Amino acid sequence: MRAPAPHPPDPDRTPTSPGACDARAADTSDPQQLAERIPAGFVIGTATAAAQIEGCVHAGRRTLSVWDRFSEQPGRILDASTTAVTADHFHRHAEDVRLMSGLGVDAYRFSLGWTRLEPGGRGPLDPDGAAFYDRLLDELLAAGISPFATVSHWDLPEEYAHGWRDRDTALRLGEFAGLVGERFGDRIDGWITINEPATVTLNGYALGLHAPGESLLFDALPTAHHQLLGHGLAVQALRAAGVRGQIGITNAHTPVLPAGDGEQDAVMALLFDVIHNRVFADPVLTGRYPEVPDELATLFGALAEVPAEDLAVICQPLDFYGLNYYMPSVVAAGSGTGDSPDGVSAAMAELPFRLEALPTHETTGFGWPIAPEYLGTVLAQLRDRYGDALPPVLITENGASFDDVVQADGTIADIRRIDYLARHLDSALSAVAPGGEAEGVDLRGFFVWSLLDNWEWAAGFTQRFGLVHVDFADGTRTEKESYRYLAEVLRRRDRR
């Protein structure tokens, strides 16, 4: 099936309806105006991941993950930093919960450190590791903050020698989900089985940019299937454990734009849309992998004849669908390293396409285009592609890194982050409003990435996404202006 690629909107077009998603339609710098846009009951949260903030790698019986090992390899991490300390959340979690409480968020999305809870990737939960999350959950609930837990957020145990290339890893994820469901299921309101399987497959196994650093190109596609199978098994295990919370998955979606008007750019844009978006959403929501034109079929041979029973497991009923949105992607035919948002590797030059910049837009510190109008495009694509099969949607990540400067008086005036977050939240709410571009999507929440400056994977400490500044030398937390802005928005909204 040939999926139509979206056409870039005219940046100078004046919006004629709330669905036009032009952030200039509302004064999002005014906390009161943005607060009035947030519907009663709409969840506003913030998010982190264990490997990026916890640190305390060698405490207790925690064993090493693939990211621990990857960060120890010379040249893998931009600033040669490691996971050893990061934001030291393990020791400072009570302080971080107080920051969330002061912010006024409804929910906190965090991940369960697999190697802290199940050292070696096998056996019962470690008592000390489980006690850490017991403390965190009790502190969140005492503060009136709803816990949302991600079961697997990239930190795979290193003992799984072949990682997601091995079907057995899917079984291990299902077992781990059952263990954490039994232990924490009475206190967690939202469960995310796996985070961004597309990023894991593309960056970790196809292009060698992320852990475990393999460059398999299209031969990495079995890792996509095994992650999705692990998702389905995790859903089954959580339901069998009787967890009280809702269950979903989180995928990263990007609207794909052909770089030019030619047929080859259109075909390569379709190819990228399939491998980044549809391979990871279609089986979960429809129970089958996407059809592709004949000229692309040989690239997807690994997914052509997967067992029907696998697809039945993958396509479990879900309570919500998690959407991570950061940017659109511009795709051109032809080889070359292009303008990748996550770095450059030798494997990229062997692809039949390349990513290009979106020169009409400003960029974040990572060089990612700031394009809130395409958030509505993503939501509309989900509605149009999946119809009644699309569960309620949570935007489980959206945020930006900038070069935050600590002033002489200790303040951090991250005005660009305020503008970024306000415009994206406004764009999402406009898109699903009556007459909006994505009208009909049941959008129920928005999680800001991230609460804290963190260890940003292969970028190390060079990119700061936090509402709260972290001094990585001593762990000191400092509220940024974006923190205070969002706190004011949340203070003024209607909570009925």
Active site residues: 397
Beta bridge partners of residue 157, listed in sequence order:
65
Distance CA 421, CA 480 (A): 13
For residue 204 the two structure tokens come to: 């970790």
Distance CA 259, CA 329 (A): 9
Q: Percentage helix, strand, coil, to 5, in the chain?
A: 45, 15, 45
Computed from CA positions of residues 273, 277, 278, 280, in that sequence, does the dihedral angle turn out positive or negative? positive
Q: Does residue 212 have a cis bond before it (omega within 30 degrees)? A: yes
Which of 150, 139, 214, 143 lies closest to 176 in space, CA to CA? 150
Which of 336, 395, 376 lies closest to 255 in space, CA to CA? 376
Q: How many residues does the chain have?
A: 496
Q: Which long-range contacts (CB under 8 A, 24 or more apart) does 268-273 make?
A: 268/331, 268/332, 268/333, 268/352, 268/353, 269/5, 269/331, 270/2, 270/3, 270/5, 270/296, 271/296, 271/299, 271/331, 271/352, 271/353, 272/329, 272/331, 272/353, 272/355, 273/3, 273/5
For 152, residues 6+ apart whose C-beta sits below 8 A from its C-beta are 111, 114, 173, 176, 193, 194, 195, 230, 234
Q: How far is CA 213 from CA 49, 121, 200, 201, 453, in A?
A: 20, 20, 10, 10, 24
Beta bridge partners of residue 256, listed in sequence order:
329
Q: Contact 265/333 with Cβ under 8 angstroms?
A: yes
Q: Does residue 31 have a cis bond before it (omega within 30 degrees)? A: no
Q: Contact 251/198 with Cβ under 8 angstroms?
A: yes
Which of 289, 293, 327, 331 lies closest to 310 in space, CA to CA? 289
Q: How far is CA 136 from CA 93, 97, 237, in A?
A: 7, 8, 23
Query: What is the enclosing helix (H) or strand (E) of 449?
Result: strand 443-449
